[in-house]
């Protein structure tokens, strides 16, 4: 009985080691994805648009947090997702520049975990234009890979 159980276990391990991982059909490299003039262009095709609203919050005299609220639309004009990012432009030595982020898709009404698509340890600055929002390309690539756009 032990012999058959060990053979079955080895067979299971062999099959699981050779199994192909689930891969997504969308290759989301930065060369093919461009964001300009509030448009999302992938492989030369218009995928959608986005609107940006920003405001500044004063926490104290030294800290200012910029809040971006972005609504992402598909090319038909339907709302796909809402992305909100709270960003500290001058973080302290041991703190993160991204304070909080939320991504809510409207198709299935799900709030997605920001650690799936953002790098919280990245050193960032607030000196970019509003059209180049902090790691917004990562959010669009995430939406592309899960077929929201």
Q: Along the 149 residues of the chain, how does pLDDT read in single tens digits?
A: 888 888 887 877 777 665 544 444 445 454 688 888 899 998 888 999 999 998 888 777 677 788 899 999 998 999 999 999 888 766 666 566 788 899 999 999 999 988 888 887 766 555 555 546 778 888 998 999 888 88
- Label residue 109 left, alpha or beta by phi (over 0 means left) and psi (-120 to 50 means alpha): left
* Range of the structural domain that residue 37 is part of: 26-145
Which pTM value belongs to this model?
A: 0.71
CA distances from 48 to 24, 26, 73, 76, 119 (A): 20, 16, 5, 8, 24
In a domain, residue 62? The reply is yes
Find out whether 51 and 70 touch, Cβ atoms under 8 Å: yes
Domain count, the chain: 1
Residue 14 resides in a domain: no
């Amino acid at each position: 009985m032990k012999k058959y159980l060990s053979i079955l276990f080895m067979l299971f391990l062999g099959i699981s080691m050779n199994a192909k991982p689930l891969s997504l059909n969308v290759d989301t490299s930065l060369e093919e994805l461009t964001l300009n003039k509030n448009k999302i262009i992938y492989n030369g095709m218009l995928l959608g648009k986005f609107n940006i609203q920003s405001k500044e919050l004063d926490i104290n005299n030294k800290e200012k947090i910029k809040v971006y609220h972005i609504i992402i639309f598909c090319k038909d004009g339907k709302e796909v997702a809402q992305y909100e990012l709270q960003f500290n432009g001058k973080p302290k030595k041991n703190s993160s520049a991204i304070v909080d982020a939320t991504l809510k898709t409207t198709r299935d009404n799900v709030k997605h975990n920001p650690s799936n698509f953002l790098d919280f340890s990245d050193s960032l600055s607030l000196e970019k234009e509003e059209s180049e929002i902090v790691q917004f390309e990562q959010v669009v690539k995430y939406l592309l890979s899960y077929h929201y756009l």
